[in-house]
Amino acid sequence: MTSIALTPAEKPLRAAGTDAPEKSTRSSHSVLRYLHRNRWWITRVLALPVHVFVFVVLTFLLVRSMPGDPIRAMLGQNYTPESYAAMQERMGLNGTMFQQLTSYLHGIVNLDLGESIVNGRPVIDELQTRLPATLELALLGLGLSILLSIAASYIAVFHHRSVIAHIIRGYARAAGAVPEYVLAVAGILLFYATLQIVPAPMGRLDVDEIAPPTTTGFPLVDALLAGRPDAFWSTLAHLALPVVVMCAAHSALLIRVLVSALDKEADATATRFRIASGASTRTVVKSIYRRAAPASVTMAGTLFGYLLGGTVILETLFGLSGMGKYALDAVNSGDVVVMQGFLLTVATLSLLVFLLVDVTNMLIDPRRRPGVRTEG
């Protein structure tokens, strides 16, 4: 057999052709190894759309199962078959249940949540306008609750003999004893009507203040971006009492969980080992808090849901226009289109928060990741 000699220019081409499948195989193995190592968060991210879809279907069926006829409620007693059919089509209640669900899902995919049957405005536009202000209120309440729980738990666990520690533990045991709306009414009567140290519960700004231009939708952020410190401090003053009410009503739950977890970890073997090895007090305390964090992070995610739901009452009592007031008006008017959009938005936010909580816990404690075995 006659061998064919390769020219110097052809040898690199032959070598490249031989190595190409090997490089492709190595690249595929690298991708598979990456997916395998990070499956603990990738699977949860991929499951999020499934969870949202399930909730969308449940919300659709829940709203459709409400007693009464929303079309008659909107039209009143004097209506014609033509006006009834027109309103039925406008509300998306024509056709079979499956056709209605298909139309609703198609609208969600195209970011079309329908139009309010009360004012005719697109629901997605209303949500984009109102949601940031509500999120700002809930996040302020959550942030203050977290800071308070960290400080209170430190005193309760590491200075447990003090009088303040006993008061904190008693406060934590009384978690949820006083409803949020009771604290809100009491706060308005005491701090506004009697002491007059907070602004009137009539919106986010003083009457003589001009609202800054809307950039992000978050009132405090927009005031800073517009260079309006007067609007910033006015908004902060109006939000102070609602935020304190949210913190007072719900922070006890977070304090109780954190104190319980800290008590357990303070007496754990890992803590005793660090103390025996001569670690500093600061290092020991940080280690205890890190190991006690997962339970508290989970409760913080749950607390965010409570705070978001509580805005329905607080925004009404304090005259704050937001998601809560929007949802309450929709319930009073029987606007099923708005109710569906509100429930979908709140559910998506809650699922995103719990995804963040899950991933955060597994970052803090890798033993919580699937497939990781721990010694019993």
Q: Hey, where are the domains in the chain? A: 132-368
> What percent of the chain has a predicted confidence (pLDDT) above 90?
24
User: Which tokens go with 3?
Assistant: 């061998």
Q: Where residue 375 falls among pLDDT bands split at 50, 70, 90?
A: very low
**What is the model's pTM?**
0.79
Q: With respect to CATH, is domain 132-368 assigned 1.20.140.10?
A: no
Q: What is the pLDDT of residue 311?
A: 81
Q: What is the mean pLDDT of residues 313-340?
A: 83
Please, what is the angle between helix 11-37 and helix 39-64, to 10°? 60
Check whether 376 has a pLDDT greater than 50: no
